[in-house]
Structure 1
């Protein structure tokens, strides 16, 4: 079965800074943003992050990433080399004619071959930092492909907190990857593929209390899945030479399955607690293992044959990963790339069903969840309110090919059950 991609939907996955404790009151509301995306090509991701200097003064860092396939490449030189030219613009506008902050700059990228310019996992990426005072701003990010002339932009409202009276606290948590030399590279969209194996978090704690340096801090970290359950935890005691010195935290395990997660970092001193968290997504990973493997076989049965499911159930634990990979290899629409769109789409539909449909158990076990996983989002939804003679109805229509599914909320608690279908 081929799985159609679901329509884009906003992800309200937040950056959250919580500053609490006996030493001071909390500052103004912290920056709370998902990665920014434009509504038109060229598509890109922009991730704004608050960092702090040793005195606790805020700096806004914006990372921007454009996939290679979103820009036009032109041949340069006598060989097969290709070049792309991209212009980035970042503006923080406080409004009312006050001074703006930001910059415009250009990146030129050259690759050795035309094939390299089509690499599905490569990006034109850059980041800039801007010292700005506390306050409210409209953030605008624009990307222009200078070879094609096409441009796109996105904007949002942000608030930079006033940290001046807060003696201790976290800046925004940054997520990225770290190499063997412990060099940290931020991931602008917080979307990880196989790179999740080298994922790390960079936490910045400022401490303006009187006293000598260095100081020791006991950090705790956790990774929560999209249901809020803890899947990874750990602790690290660090010695910092000065305030706002960044700390790298690498998870004890990083074999995370496809899905949405939150990385949480905490500092606890006596009765005082500070916490910062950042959401991220894993789009490519290894196969599910153990209990997760058994659980995933249930929704997998909606799109697989009974023979395929029985074969997977019969596998010994040390063979389950190979069986899972082989199942999805047969369904990969682009086997020449590392990204298996069918697998990603299946997992997205399962996660969506968990959150949006009600039943006796996980949302994907409901009738709506099963139909959604098999067919994707409907092209049209019709709602009919309950009457004295009939339950509330919801009708899903698909146009290519034509299908209609009728669901009824018989008990009035939102647990819609399938009544009949047309064209399926």
Structure 2
């Protein structure tokens, strides 16, 4: 059985005194096989707090079996809620589901997803959540672990968590579970609830912060709310996101503009048509070291205007595209796939792409054969990687015992160039 595990956090914490916010789930940068998000709301049940869990499963990550002219995928989802220390199982929900696709193209499309939704009422405390997706045909097993803090919603004025909107079809809201947008998107839609102890008119402010905590967007409106629960849906327009991590803030403010209460959520802006793992342009440029020369990288880095620098980055990869008439850029996708793999498997004191193993893996791709010797009696741990097509063998030794493998036979040769 193949297992993939991801640890995420959905924790609401104090922002401005009584103001609370949800960080949400940034699955676009690292989900192993599916996206998951959660939002906390006031429950109709006394003493309880409601948690809505949203799951988005890409068709391409499931195995479809052809049956009677159609393509069928079957899977099981298990949601387990533990105490904060994950010592005591509090509640578990298991369900089986299937997807029927009309064609192989539909079954393998990167644009097709299955959405699952479940709602729960729990005591307001912190839980350790584990979500497991099991593909019944491929036997692949994906797991996400998360921390979930549920609030009491006992204040006179309070906001629920935010949920981003992907689309609306026949008055049905499709949530943006990956919490991601592209740099070409000019609008962001979302919904949340406001809980008020009286009828009143609120001054609401919506802001977007970049990773430096600078406000790049601000909008102020008035909103009439009734006593009880108020469903709020809003769209921000004329958004000018760059590339990277941002935070959307929704808050009620007093006459002086100070926050009374509010909520916020992080999202990621990526480049349309580029791998979702690219969320920091400066880092992505640094990671080009094994395919682009220093003069190319310096030329991009020296551009001061963020939009011009991003365009220069895109132009470089466009020049490498072997099939410019299609959406996919195979060279780009494979290069950053290797970078992501290196960052996940080879990191130690440095990011995986900067290690010796990362350098070889990104430059040459996966080795044809790997010999691992982690517990040799008379030597330090070492690995041997063979690349048969170029007749090269690489020796890596862990000198420190902490997984810091160094390349022994570091001699530049004809092999030292990027190979697709």
Sort the TM-score into its range (normalised by shorter chain). Answer: 0.5 to 0.7
What is the distance in 2 between the residues matched to 1:52 and 1:180? Answer: 26
Matches within 5 A, 1:337-348: 337-338=327-328, 342=332
Is the 1:222–1:233 Cα contact (8 Å) retained in structure 2? Answer: yes
What is the distance in 2 between the residues matched to 1:102 and 1:194? Answer: 39
Which residue of 2 is the match for residue 76 of structure 1?
A: 67
Which residue of 1 is the match for residue 175 of structure 2?
A: 186
* Residues matched between the structures, number: 345
What is the distance in 2 between the residues matched to 1:94 and 1:297? Answer: 39
Unaligned runs of 5+ residues in structure 1 are 1-7, 288-293, 350-367, 382-398, 405-421
Determine which of 247, 254, 260 is the counterpart of 2:232: 247
Task: Give, in angstroms, the shift of residue 70 of structure 1.
Answer: 1.5
Is the 1:58–1:134 Cα contact (8 Å) retained in structure 2? Answer: yes
Which residue of 1 is the match for residue 162 of structure 2?
A: 173
Which residue of 2 is the match for residue 112 of structure 1?
A: 102
Task: Give, in angstroms, the shift of residue 279 of structure 1.
Answer: 0.9
Determine which of 179, 188, 196 is the counterpart of 1:199: 188
Query: CA separation of 1:115/1:52 partners in 2, compared to 1, >3 Å: closer, same or farther?
Result: same
Q: What TM-score comes out, normalization by structure 2 length? A: 0.63
Task: Give, in angstroms, the shift of residue 72 of structure 1.
Answer: 0.7
Q: Are residue 160 (structure 1) and residue 138 (structure 2) matched?
A: no
What is the distance in 1 between the residues matched to 2:78 and 2:146? Answer: 14
Q: Are residue 273 (structure 1) and residue 260 (structure 2) matched?
A: yes
Task: Give, in angstroms, the shift of residue 129 of structure 1.
Answer: 1.0
Task: Give, in angstroms, the shift of residue 60 of structure 1.
Answer: 0.4
What is the distance in 2 between the residues matched to 1:192 and 1:344? Answer: 22
Q: Are residue 261 (structure 1) and residue 246 (structure 2) matched?
A: yes
Task: Give, in angstroms, the shift of residue 107 of structure 1.
Answer: 2.9
Task: Give, in angstroms, the shift of residue 50 of structure 1.
Answer: 0.6
Matches within 5 A, 1:13-92: 16-18=12-14, 26=18, 34-35=25-26, 43-53=33-43, 58-78=49-69, 81-92=70-81
Q: Are residue 103 (structure 1) and residue 130 (structure 2) matched?
A: no
Query: CA separation of 1:312/1:18 partners in 2, compared to 1, >3 Å: closer, same or farther?
Result: closer
Which secondary structure state, in structure 1, belongs to the residue aligned with residue 161 of structure 2?
A: coil
Which secondary structure state, in structure 2, belongs to the residue aligned with residue 327 of structure 1?
A: helix
What is the distance in 2 between the residues matched to 1:207 and 1:260? Answer: 31
Determine which of 214, 217, 223 is the counterpart of 1:229: 214
What is the distance in 2 between the residues matched to 1:324 and 1:122? Answer: 29
Is the 1:85–1:145 Cα contact (8 Å) retained in structure 2? Answer: yes
Is the 1:31–1:161 Cα contact (8 Å) retained in structure 2? Answer: no
Is the 1:120–1:337 Cα contact (8 Å) retained in structure 2? Answer: no
Query: CA separation of 1:113/1:64 partners in 2, compared to 1, >3 Å: closer, same or farther?
Result: same
Task: Give, in angstroms, the shift of residue 138 of structure 1.
Answer: 2.6
Task: Give, in angstroms, the shift of residue 278 of structure 1.
Answer: 0.9
Query: CA separation of 1:331/1:91 partners in 2, compared to 1, >3 Å: closer, same or farther?
Result: same
Unaligned runs of 5+ residues in structure 2 are 275-280, 340-348, 360-384, 397-409, 413-420
Query: CA separation of 1:295/1:193 partners in 2, compared to 1, >3 Å: closer, same or farther?
Result: closer
Which secondary structure state, in structure 2, belongs to the residue aligned with residue 250 of structure 1?
A: strand
Which residue of 1 is the match for residue 407 of structure 2?
A: none
Which secondary structure state, in structure 1, belongs to the residue aligned with residue 317 of structure 2?
A: helix
Which residue of 1 is the match for residue 342 of structure 2?
A: none
Which secondary structure state, in structure 2, belongs to the residue aligned with residue 244 of structure 1?
A: strand
Which residue of 2 is the match for residue 360 of structure 1?
A: none
Task: Give, in angstroms, the shift of residue 71 of structure 1.
Answer: 0.9
Q: Are residue 131 (structure 1) and residue 121 (structure 2) matched?
A: yes
Which secondary structure state, in structure 2, belongs to the residue aligned with residue 147 of structure 1?
A: coil
Query: CA separation of 1:275/1:72 partners in 2, compared to 1, >3 Å: closer, same or farther?
Result: same
More strand, by proportion: 2
Which residue of 2 is the match for residue 379 of structure 1?
A: 357
Query: CA separation of 1:333/1:243 partners in 2, compared to 1, >3 Å: closer, same or farther?
Result: farther
Is the 2:58–2:110 Cα contact (8 Å) retained in structure 1? Answer: yes
Task: Give, in angstroms, the shift of residue 252 of structure 1.
Answer: 2.5
The CA RMSD measured in Å over matched residues stands at 5.1
